[in-house]
Amino acid sequence: MVGLLVLAPVAGAAKKAKLPKAPAGSRFYSPPKKLVRGKSGTPIWIRAARGLVRPPHAGRVVTVAYRSTSIRNRATTMTGTIALPKGKPPRKGWPVVTFGHVTTGGADNCAPSQVTAGNPERERMTRSDEVVGYLLAHRVAVARPDFEGIGTPGRHPYLIGRSLGRSMIDIVRAGRKLKLGLGRRWVAAGHSEGGMAALWAAKVGPRRAPGLAFRGTAAFAPASHISDIVELARNFKTVSPLTADFSALGGLILEGAAVAEPSLWQAYRDGGLSPEALGRMPDTQRLCLAELGGTDSLGGIAPGKLEGPKADQYLPSIYAVLDRNDPGRLKLPGVPVRLDQGADDLVVWESHTAEVASKLASAGADVTFEIWEGGTHENITDLEYAAGEAADWLIARLR
């Protein structure tokens, strides 16, 4: 019989929770089904986070497995970390930023909560540490979900907004039920895929957690216009170092669309994808982004050669899924939204983020949009660029 860890509420948090003792190693990420059943946004178990998982200026940091809802609307496990500032929480509890990470891949070892020095995704897993450390130093707690299917059972619904939004708010809800001192005030933030997650959290979160006080969302170079990028990539018919990332991301995009719309799996087998692409698609379940871009994986196939003889027949269905999840289509009336974009970003384009900003504003959001000269996809969350100003904006919303 496992021991019980008793955790009491703080700062008006939820009821006392009795959690099973968390197992060591990878078993932490696959709780038995009887523990997965239950209310979304409640913790399953926690353990102390050590090593590279700990961001700068953190006090206590825990890895948490929590109950959520899958893209198929079934009970599922998600994981992530919650970092607390040093010292005692204020009377009303720590204000919280839930922060979404950049694309790392969909396999289990792509979970940022599992980062190690030898992981090929180490740089991307820790890329936002400067902005997270800044928030912690200014007495704001930070929750960082791994996202559905990354680390935990099931496939990752890559760039599927509702799934991302659920992971972002449910880790906050779960954290409130632990003895961590989290308060009611929260905002969402994130980078790239995580930037899309932050915008969708603004849509999903307030309804999912009506008892909490949502104050706004900030996105660094949020992923958008994915159909346009896929259409462009179709023109690249030869393999080169410049196409490797297109093909790796293409595999993740195609998988995410099929996780959201399962009929696409048959479409892929029925000529939507080339035999070479079909042979490499299982790599998304065992390799992270850097490895997927290798010549022995999807990166060895030109983006335009991923498609099969019936691609034109099935692409409209794929684009429909991608377009439904584009953050530019969100209606966030009255929500404070901040977008930061690097002028030299070659992954998420300035023109795309500018259009997202315009569409959100037209739909009623209170949008702040800033372009950073010299900013790239890799450095936009550094203190040299947008980190400090964006973090100050978030902190102001939380007061």
Instruction: Give residues with Cβ within 8 angstroms of 396, minimum separation 6.
Output: none
83: left (phi over 0), alpha (psi -120 to 50) or beta: beta
In this structure, what token pair is assigned to residue 365? 């959001």
Mean pLDDT of 315-325: 98
Least confident of 17-26, 104-113, 309-318: 17-26
Local structure of residue 156 (DSSP, 8 states): -
**pLDDT in the model for residue 12:** 44
Q: Tokens 């196939």 appear where?
A: 301
**pLDDT in the model for residue 68:** 98
CA-nearest of 209, 181, 184 to 201 is 209
**How sure is the predictor about 18, in pLDDT bands with cuts at 50, 70 and 90?**
confident
Give the distance between the most distant pair of CA atoms in the chain.
63
Mean pLDDT of 349-374: 98
Q: Please, which residues bridge with residue 145 across strands?
A: 80
**pLDDT in the model for residue 11:** 42
**pLDDT in the model for residue 5:** 35
pLDDT digits (tens, 9 = 90+) for 42-91: 999 999 999 999 999 999 999 999 999 999 999 999 999 999 999 999 99
The SS3 of residue 227 is: helix
pLDDT digits (tens, 9 = 90+) for 174-226: 999 999 999 999 999 999 999 999 999 999 999 999 999 999 999 999 999 99
Q: Rounded to the nearest 10 degrees, how much is the dihedral formed by the CA atoms of 49, 54, 57, 62?
A: -30
Terminal alpha carbon distance of the chain: 45
Mean pLDDT of 248-264: 98
CA-nearest of 280, 262, 260, 278 to 270 is 278
Average pLDDT, the chain: 95
Asked whether residue 7 carries a pLDDT value surpassing 80, the answer given is no
In this structure, what token pair is assigned to residue 134? 């800044």
Mean pLDDT of 89-94: 97
**pLDDT in the model for residue 15:** 52
